[in-house]
Structures are given as structure tokens and as C-alpha cells.
């Protein structure tokens, strides 16, 4: 079963789900033992394919730390927090969390884009 640990100790994913923002960027950091990497990837792939069929989903990309790292980062774009909330709290998604290895710890966090002149284009 996947364990959840806040990325920001001051603001949990559950607090963030009560807000409204559009678009929403999910960053989810996974820590797992090396032996459980194949199980993590299999569970994540199944979840990503399920999320892909949900309203408001735009895209996702999984990254692995380099140099033998066992840390993974998922970066996903959603039309809004409301769309992500509907998918994240769906009973089918919640039930699938048991497929993650017991060593897996996830730290999901929602972000919104910012505008920084000449560098970043925000909403």
C-alpha cells in the first residue's frame, strides 16, 4: 500500500484539494527501495493509464533520479484542481493504491504556473 507523506509540512495534498486553481500542476515525488522499482513502475503505469481517461487530464511524465537514485518524480498537468480532485478521490483510484509496494512513499503536491517576465509564461 502506498504511503503518503506531505511534500510541504504546512500544506497537505488534502488541504490543496479544497482550493480552486486552473490549470493545476501535480508534482509527485516517490521514494522506493531498489528492489521494489519494478512494482512501483507497474503500479504507476496502471494509475497513469486510468488518470489519462479522466476528465480534465492533460498529460503526465515520469522521471527517475540519475546515478542509481531510487527517487521518482511524476509531473502531471490538469485543467483544474477540481478535475484532479475528482480523479484523486475517486474510489477506483483509491482502491488501486494497494498495488504499490509497501516501501513506496509518495509526496503529491499541487502547483500553479507563475509568470516571470522573459522567463516563464503563467496562466
- Tens digit of each residue's pLDDT (9 = 90 or more) over 39-96: 999 999 999 999 999 999 999 999 999 999 999 999 999 999 999 999 999 999 999 9
Total domains, the chain: 1
3-40 residue pLDDT tens: 999 999 999 999 999 999 999 999 999 999 999 999 99
Domain assignment present for residue 80? The answer is yes
Query: Which residues on neighbouring strands pair with residue 29, listed in sequence order?
Result: 73, 107
Give me the domain span that covers residue 106: 3-111
Helix or strand (DSSP H, E) at 41: helix 37-52
C-beta neighbour count of 97 within 10 angstroms: 15
Q: Residue 84: which of 57, 45, 123 has the closest Cα?
A: 57
Domain assignment present for residue 61? The answer is yes
Domain assignment present for residue 101? The answer is yes
Helix or strand (DSSP H, E) at 82: helix 81-88
Tell me the CATH number at 84.
3.30.70.100
> Which pTM was predicted?
0.94
C-beta neighbour count of 16 within 10 angstroms: 20
Mean pLDDT on 111-122: 91
Amino acid at each position: 500500500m502506498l504511503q503518503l507523506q506531505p511534500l510541504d509540512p504546512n500544506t497537505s495534498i488534502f488541504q490543496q484539494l479544497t482550493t480552486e486553481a486552473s490549470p493545476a500542476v501535480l508534482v509527485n515525488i516517490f521514494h522506493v527501495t531498489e528492489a521494489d522499482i519494478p512494482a512501483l513502475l507497474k503500479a504507476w503505469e496502471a494509475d497513469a493509464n486510468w488518470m489519462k481517461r479522466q476528465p480534465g487530464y492533460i498529460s503526465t511524465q515520469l522521471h527517475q533520479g540519475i546515478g542509481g537514485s531510487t527517487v521518482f518524480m511524476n509531473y502531471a498537468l490538469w485543467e483544474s484542481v477540481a478535475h484532479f480532485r475528482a480523479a484523486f478521490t475517486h474510489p477506483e483510484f483509491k482502491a488501486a493504491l494497494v498495488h504499490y509496494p509497501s516501501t513506496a512513499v509518495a509526496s503529491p503536491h499541487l502547483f500553479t504556473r507563475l509568470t516571470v517576465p522573459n522567463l516563464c509564461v503563467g496562466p
